[in-house]
A and B are shown apart, each in its own frame.
Chain A
Amino acid sequence: MQMPAGDGMPEHGQSLAFLVTLVIFALVMGLVLKRKITERFAILWMGIAFALMLASSFGYKYLFRIAHFFGIPYAPSALFLIAIFGLTLLVIQLFTWVSKLNERSRILAQQLAILRDELDREIAKNRSEHEAAGGVGHEGDGEPPVKTLAN
């Protein structure tokens, strides 16, 4: 099968590219349906898969023009360009989320530590109050018998 120079991928290659993107699309959709990816992340994934699907089917002839315009000698590598661009976006999005999760988990850890400390102190206070009330009985009427544990 002879293809004219600059035309790039033979038919099989095109259908392979289409098939792969279709699989990615279906996979992401399945994961969203099973709630393994949130819709928020799926948007970008599906967008990339969709763009690649278009580019490898109906948009295939435009792909050649675009490649020609940018001076890419081997047109199907424009598909890679789109894919790499999309993946870069995806990685950046992932990084922002990792940073956000990192901050959230830090705040959670700090709050957990502070609240646990407060709880411990409260429990100790109550215990000593209880002991003082049970053991010694009420001494006078003013001072609560807790002061010992404060320092």
Chain B
Amino acid sequence: MTGKTEEKTSQASAAERSHLTRTREKRVLIVIPAYNEAKSLPGLVRALSEEVPGCDVVVIDDGSSDNTREMLRGLARAVTLPCNLGIGGAVQTGWQIALRENYDFAMQVDGDGQHPPHEIPKLLEAMRESSADLIVGSRFRSEGGFKSTATRRMGIRFFALMLSAICGTRITDPTSGFRILSRRAIRLLAHRYSEDFPEVEALVVAHRAGLAILEVPVVMAERSAGRSSIGAIKSLVYMLKVPLAIFMNLLRKPEVNFWSCSRWPISQCRCRLGTECRSTGNRWRFW
């Protein structure tokens, strides 16, 4: 990326930001990926509407075999995937909805009750205050709360060191799924989100695309019902797949100025900064 385009980008995004702040309140979409979480979801959705009434909630039902959809009728918007895509595919669907419907921020909250709704304003506040594009709620920067099991903490620590080295800032909880995305991050991750174990990799993708990552201390809770989807064998695959994916991402050419229009993937259009969008004819001013 040349200096000229960089300058252009920052100017444009600043203009865009001030324009948005002047005209209206930010719209926030809370994405809840859920696979057979019918027990804990209604409570979570009710708590969300109490704690953060201004945010829209969408539950991505990842082909659940229980009555998730029925439980949510009248409570929250539920988007049902026709087959199980895994957490990555489900969350990505949420990002795509946020992109399609022009949300300013999109937020991931896990459906198992580990992410207490009363912690959400912390992330929202951080998003409004800072210029970061991807803000992660870290359970290791706060006191108390649920800190995961000892073996998992070791794995998390490993990735934390790795990510801190890659991103050049201190990252303590890269596997946390409690995060909020700016519009730029939504745009990037709606296209680039891996199907399995996406959290850590997404940070690398975002960093490589020039997005700013920030961590905010949050207190997490233990899951309220159900079991973790990651067992012993899956943990092993996790430890092999994620470093490999990170390594591959580092080898790839960074996707600076990567931009696809909001009609993607229907249009399959991949327009870049300064070029005209082939499907909408718009000339993009930012990113």
Contact = CB atoms under 8 A, between A and B. Distances in A.
A109 B89 CA distance: 9
B266 A113 contact: no
Interface residues of B, number: 18
Interface in A111-136: 111-114, 116-117, 121
B92 interface: yes
B17 interface: no
Contacts, number: 39
Contact of A109 (B77, B78, B83, B266): B83
A124 to B, nearest CB: 11
B81 interface: yes
B27 to A, nearest CB: 13
A107 interface: yes
Given A106-B195, A107-B265, A114 B93 contact: yes
Contacts of A88: none
A110 B92 contact: yes
B265 A113 contact: no
B79 A112 contact: no
Nearest to B93: A110
Contacts of A109: 81-83, 85, 89
Interface string A79-115: 0000000000000000000000000001101111110
A113 B89 CA distance: 11
The number of chain A residues touching the other chain, given as a range, is: 10 to 19
Contacts of B96: 110-111, 114
Looking at chain A's contact residues, the main secondary structure is: helix
B205 interface: no
B82 A112 contact: yes
Contact of B265 (A111, A116, A117): A111
B100 interface: yes
A84 B96 CA distance: 43
A29 B247 CA distance: 42
A106 B85 contact: yes
Contacts of A113: 60, 79-82, 93
B11 to A, nearest CB: 33
Interface in B62-86: 77-83, 85
A111 B77 contact: no
B97 interface: yes
A106 B82 CA distance: 10
Contacts of B85: 106, 109-110
Which of A109, A111, A113 has the largest count of B CB atoms less than 10 A from its CB?
Answer: A113
Contacts of A111: 96, 265-266
Interface string B146-168: 00000000000000000000000
Nearest to A149: B74
Interface string B118-138: 000000000000000000000
B79 A117 contact: yes
B97 A114 contact: yes
B248 to A, nearest CB: 13
A110 B83 CA distance: 9
Contacts of B81: 109-110, 112-113
A26 to B, nearest CB: 38
A109 to B, nearest CB: 5
A107 B95 CA distance: 13
A100 to B, nearest CB: 13
Contact of A114 (B78, B79, B89, B195): B79
Nearest 3 A/B pairs, CB to CB: A117-B79, A110-B93, A113-B81
23 contacts: A106-B89, A109-B81, A109-B82, A109-B85, A109-B89, A110-B85, A110-B89, A110-B92, A110-B93, A110-B96, A111-B265, A111-B266, A112-B81, A113-B79, A113-B81, A114-B79, A114-B93, A114-B97, A114-B100, A116-B79, A117-B77, A117-B78, A117-B80
Given A106-B85, A109-B89, A110-B81, 6 more contacts: A110-B85, A110-B92, A111-B96, A113-B80, A113-B82, A117-B77
